[in-house]
Amino acid sequence: MTSIVIAAHNERAVIGRCLDALLAGAASGEFDVTVVANGCTDETPAIAAARPGVRVIELAEAGKPAALNAGDEAARGFPRIYLDADVVLSTQGVRAIAAALDGPHLAATVRRDLDLTGRPMLVRAYFGIHRQLPVFRDGLFGRGVIGLSEAGRRRFGRFPALVADDLFLDSMFGASEKRQVETVSSRVATPRRTRDLVRRLSRVRGGNSAMRAAADQGQVDATVRPAARLSWLRDVVLPRPWLAPAALCYVAITVLAALSARRDRDGAAGWARDDSSRQEETHARVQR
C-alpha cells in the first residue's frame, strides 16, 4: 500500500483538487492518504475529511516539520510519498513513482514544469535562468513531490524542526540512489509578482542556510549539498550567452532575496511559501 502524506496549512483553495486527482482512479485500499492540517483557520480539515478514505490529523500550531512527523506516525505503508497540497498528482503519477522505487532507488521525484502564464517579465526572466540550473537534474527539491522506499525512509528518524524538508531529504541519498521519473511532470506555480518571488526566495534561502548551519554544527545528521552560487554563470550563461539579459534580472532578484534573508534570519519550523501562486486554478496539475 502506497502512503501519501500531505502537510496542509490553510489550503482551502487547493486541497480538494489535490485529493480528487490522487483518488480519481485508485482502487479501494490502494492508497493510504493522510492530510495533516496544521494551524488551519480555514476549511482545509473539513474539505479533506469529505474525501472518502482520507485520514485527517489536526495540529493546533502551524509548522511543516511537525506536520510531516505526525503524518509519518499515522501512515501505514510504503513506498511513502510526501506531497505539497498545491501540487496535483494523478493516480497514475503515484503508481509511476511507486514503481520507480521498486528496485535499487531509494528516493524519487518527478520532472519540473514551471507555470509562467501571465507572469511579469522579471519573473519570467528569473526562471529563464533558474530552470536551466543543473542542480535540478539530480536534486529532489523544487517539485513538491518526493517518494521514499521503506529502506530509504529508514535513513533518518524524524524531520528536523527546520523548513527545508526537501533539501534535508535530498541530503539523505547519493546520486545513484535517487531517480527522476521522466513520465511524470510537476507543474509548479511560480509567483505572480516580482515582490512575491523575492519574498519566496528569501524564505527558501533562509531555510536552506539554517539547514546547512545545523548540519555543520552536528544538529542534523546529514551532509547537505553546498550552495552553488555561481552555477547560473558557469553552467547556464557562459554556454548560452544569449541568456545574458535574463541573467541580469536573475542576479538582481537573487541579491535582493539574499539581503532580505540575512535581515530576516528565517529558518525556523514555520511555513515558507508564496500565497500569490496558491489560487483556485482548475488547470494546475501534475501530468503523466
Whole-angstrom distance, CA of residue 274 vs CA of residue 22: 23
Is residue 142 a contact partner of residue 112, using CB atoms and an 8 Å limit?
A: yes
280 pLDDT exceeds 90? no
Is residue 39 a contact partner of residue 60, using CB atoms and an 8 Å limit?
A: yes
What cell does 124 get? Answer: 519570467
Cβ partners under 8 Å of residue 121, min gap 6: 249
Averaged pLDDT of the chain? 90
> If you search the block for the grid coordinates 502506497, which residue do you land on?
2
Amino acid 267: pLDDT: 46
Amino acid 269: pLDDT: 47
What cell does 57 get? Answer: 490529523
Is residue 25 a contact partner of residue 90, using CB atoms and an 8 Å limit?
A: yes
Amino acid 61: pLDDT: 96
| Over residues 131-155, mean pLDDT | 93
Q: pLDDT tens-digit profile of 197-239?
A: 999 999 998 888 889 898 888 888 878 888 888 999 999 999 9
Cis peptide before 239 (omega within 30 of 0): no
For helices 194-216 and 244-264, angle between their N-to-C axes, nearest 10 degrees: 60
Count of structural domains within the chain: 1
Q: Are strands 2-8 and 80-83 parallel, antiparallel or unpaired?
A: parallel
Residue 45: give the domain boundaries: 2-287
Cβ partners under 8 Å of residue 283, min gap 6: none
Tell me the percentage of the chain whose pLDDT exceeds 90: 73
Instruction: Write the burial class of residue 222 (CB in 10 Å: 0-12 exposed, 13-18 middle, 19+ buried).
Output: buried
Amino acid 97: pLDDT: 97
Q: pLDDT tens-digit profile of 58-87?
A: 999 999 999 999 999 999 999 999 999 999
> How many angstroms from the chain centroid is the CA of residue 120?
23
CATH of the domain at 11: 3.90.550.10
| Over residues 235-246, mean pLDDT | 97
Question: Positive or negative, the Cα torsion across 166, 46, 87, 22?
Answer: positive
272 pLDDT tier (thresholds 50, 70, 90): low
SS3 36: strand
Whole-angstrom distance, CA of residue 142 vs CA of residue 148: 16
Amino acid 284: pLDDT: 41
Q: Are strands 107-115 and 145-148 parallel, antiparallel or unpaired?
A: antiparallel
Element (H, E) at 2: strand 2-8
